[in-house]
Amino acid sequence: MKARRLLAVSAKEFLHVRRDPRSLVLAIAIPVVLLLLFGYVLTLDVDKVPLAVWDRSRTPESRELASRFEGSRYFQVVLRAEGYSEVVEAVDDARVLAALVIPEDFAGRVRSDRPSAVQLLLDASEANTATIALGYAEAVVSGYSGDLEVRWARSKGLQGIRPPLDVRSRVWFNTDLESRNFIIPGLISIIMMIIAALLTSLTVAREWEQGTMEQLIATPVTSTELILGKLLPYFVIGMTDLAVAVAMGKFLFHVPMRGSLPLLFGIAAVFLVGALSLGMLFSVSSRSQFAASQMAMAFTFLPSYLLSGFVFSIDSMPRAARAVTYLIPARYFVKVIKGVYLKGVGPATLAAETGALLVFGAGLLLAATRMFRKKLR
């Protein structure tokens, strides 16, 4: 393999990208647009849950309980209902996600130290949101119940009584519990995978469609030089996209970067080589740009989005699906980029994921080169 021939192929591909505005838009603008859309639209935060309150007791005790919900950052009282039909109508119209119903005898039971039940109605058409809201509500009620026990004990002359458990939580890595802090890093890996594979899926297929492949075959350029030469321009574009995405995450979305930036770019370069090689594999296996791009989208977008751990936890997936995730390269890079971004871990912690990405990149690059040799014969 000679560097002169490799650089000549790269220069040719660079010229094509520069002269083709569509390729430049695909390479630069689409990642920026995806980051903007997902960064501002996609959120898993559940706060300000619209809540209806039907206080049938209308006592200081019931008002205190309602105020606990109203004062929480997770609930927003939008309706003071006067009857059950009003609550049902609000839930049906999706004006509220939850409704708190306090019974008439609530204050009497509380004052006499008897158990009192309150009802929480939840719209579970969005099951995940309803589950989270239920957890918030149980925490509010539990806190109120604990305070009542302490007051009762002190009223009996038992001084120094405290709740039996004093939970002091400490959140690591994402102290504000903002979903944006892990969505943006994960999204960078998905964008790199999709865009890289899509760009290179058009390279060799384009040569066949334009009738220039025969000219390349007639030159002394080897298949390895041709594959690497065509990958090099898109590698530069991919690393540029990564730099732009990291800058947007830092200055636009204010995502903290706790780890090493050189480590992130180094492992990202390994991942990018594999993603580019996957697109090249599709390109050399098809003489149609349309077919190659369709294969690239089908084998990168949905697997990377659903099975990488980007949004959905891998541990909560069925066993068969968890087994398939080991074949998804984005799984390893999502773990790497979240570890570097949020945890600040070093190369020793990420050794297994880095090794998997090295095997992935080397294997696909070798496969693309060998498959192209078959086309030259």
Identify the three-state secondary structure at position 98. strand
Specify whether 232 is located in the same domain as 370.
Answer: yes
Q: Quick one: DSSP state of residue 82?
A: S
Q: Is residue 169 part of a domain?
A: no
Specify whether 187 is located in the same domain as 128.
Answer: no
> How far apart, in whole angstroms, are the C-alpha atoms of residue 344 and residue 231?
31
pLDDT exceeding 70 applies to what percent of the chain? 94
Given this model, what pLDDT does residue 376 score? 47
Specify whether 318 is located in the same domain as 362.
Answer: yes
Specify whether 17 is located in the same domain as 54.
Answer: no
| Domain CATH code at residue 128 | 3.40.1710.10
Q: Which of 64-78, 168-182, 280-294 has the highest mean pLDDT?
A: 64-78
Task: Kindly write down the DSSP assignment for every residue of 116-155, as one continuous string.
Answer: ---EEEE-TTSHHHHHHHHHHHHHHHHHHHHHHHHHHHHH
Q: Which residue, among 136, 110, 146, 151, has the nearest Cα to 51 in the 3D structure?
A: 136
Q: Which of 122, 140, 155 is the last residue of a domain?
A: 155
Q: Is residue 4 part of a domain?
A: no
Specify whether 329 is located in the same domain as 198.
Answer: yes
pLDDT exceeding 90 applies to what percent of the chain? 41
- 210 touches 302 (CB < 8 A): no
Specify whether 239 is located in the same domain as 105.
Answer: no
Chain-wide mean pLDDT for the chain? Answer: 86
Specify whether 113 is located in the same domain as 257.
Answer: no
Specify whether 75 is located in the same domain as 25.
Answer: no
Provide the domain count of the chain: 2
Which domain does 89 fall in, by range? Answer: 49-155
**CA dist 103 → 72, 109, 114, 151, 206 (Å):** 22, 10, 14, 21, 72
Given this model, what pLDDT does residue 164 score? 62
Specify whether 203 is located in the same domain as 280.
Answer: yes
pLDDT tens-digit map of 125-184: 888 888 889 999 998 998 888 888 777 677 776 665 565 666 777 888 888 778 888 889
Specify whether 226 is located in the same domain as 315.
Answer: yes
Given this model, what pLDDT does residue 374 score? 45
173 Rama class: left (phi>0) / alpha (psi -120 to 50) / beta: left
> How far apart, in whole angstroms, are the C-alpha atoms of residue 127 and residue 132?
9
Specify whether 140 is located in the same domain as 34.
Answer: no
Identify the three-state secondary structure at position 178. coil
Specify whether 232 is located in the same domain as 117.
Answer: no
Predicted TM-score (pTM) of the model is: 0.80
Q: Is residue 27 part of a domain?
A: yes
- 269 touches 261 (CB < 8 A): no
